[in-house]
Structure 1
Amino acid sequence: MRQNASIGALVGLAGASAVLLGAFGAHALEGVLDARGRELWRTATAYHFWHALALAIASFAPAGRARRCALLGFGLGIVLFGGSLYALALGAPRWCGAVTPLGGLAFVAGWIALGLSLRARAPA
């Protein structure tokens, strides 16, 4: 039961932070970010939000190693992919961009793990 509460908290945090960061970028950073920064922020927010939803979907998958891997992949992807793009948009050094593909790989791993988890649930 405790694990489900932790997963619920993770889903809620991921979704709420996606909305808040999207609003922050649209309003507080309006006129602050250049065109490249705005595009990076929009990309980060879009992937952040979609993968918050993926976390919610994964929370309904059958418990097991594949579900844990999916949750980890999506959560890690949000932090690495989104975090590096948010940082770049705000003027972080270019080397931070080297982290972005690692987040993308975490997303891919999360989707594969989710597929495996749901496949195990499917009727024969």
Structure 2
Amino acid sequence: MADSETPVTLRTRKFIRNPLLGRKQMVVDILHPGRPNISKEQLREKISGMYKAQKDQVSVFGLRTQLRPCLRLPEAMKKFEPQYRLVRVGLATKPERASRQQRKQRKNRQKTLRGTAKVKGAKAKKEK
């Protein structure tokens, strides 16, 4: 059986009639085991068939997929995963840096020196 022939199940939840916007809106759970994600065009066709509407009346938006655990080799993880996820699983170490307050204080000290001759930093303010 090819991927495009496997069945797709649509379950409607939270059906609301919204007369202010002139539409009916719903949350649709899409079940497609053993098959990749379905295109929005195919979803529009299936939903229009379910609700006896024309395809151009259906708008599909806000698709989210459920998270599933994935298995990946450590080399691929180091190449593709963001740094914070590598720290979580123990493949990288968190970089040591000063506390947030110390970094802000250093930034503000540097702001007083900007545009002046950086001799000692004591003459930061101009005298009138």
Q: Does the alignment reach a TM-score above 0.5?
A: no
Which protein, 1 or 2, shows the higher relative CO under an 8 Å CA cutoff with sep ≥ 6?
A: 1
The structure that is strand-richer by fraction is 2
Q: Determine which structure has more spread, i.e. the larger CA radius of gyration.
A: 2
The structure that is helix-richer by fraction is 1
TM-score tier after normalising by the smaller chain length:
under 0.3
| TM-score scaled by length of structure 2 | 0.22
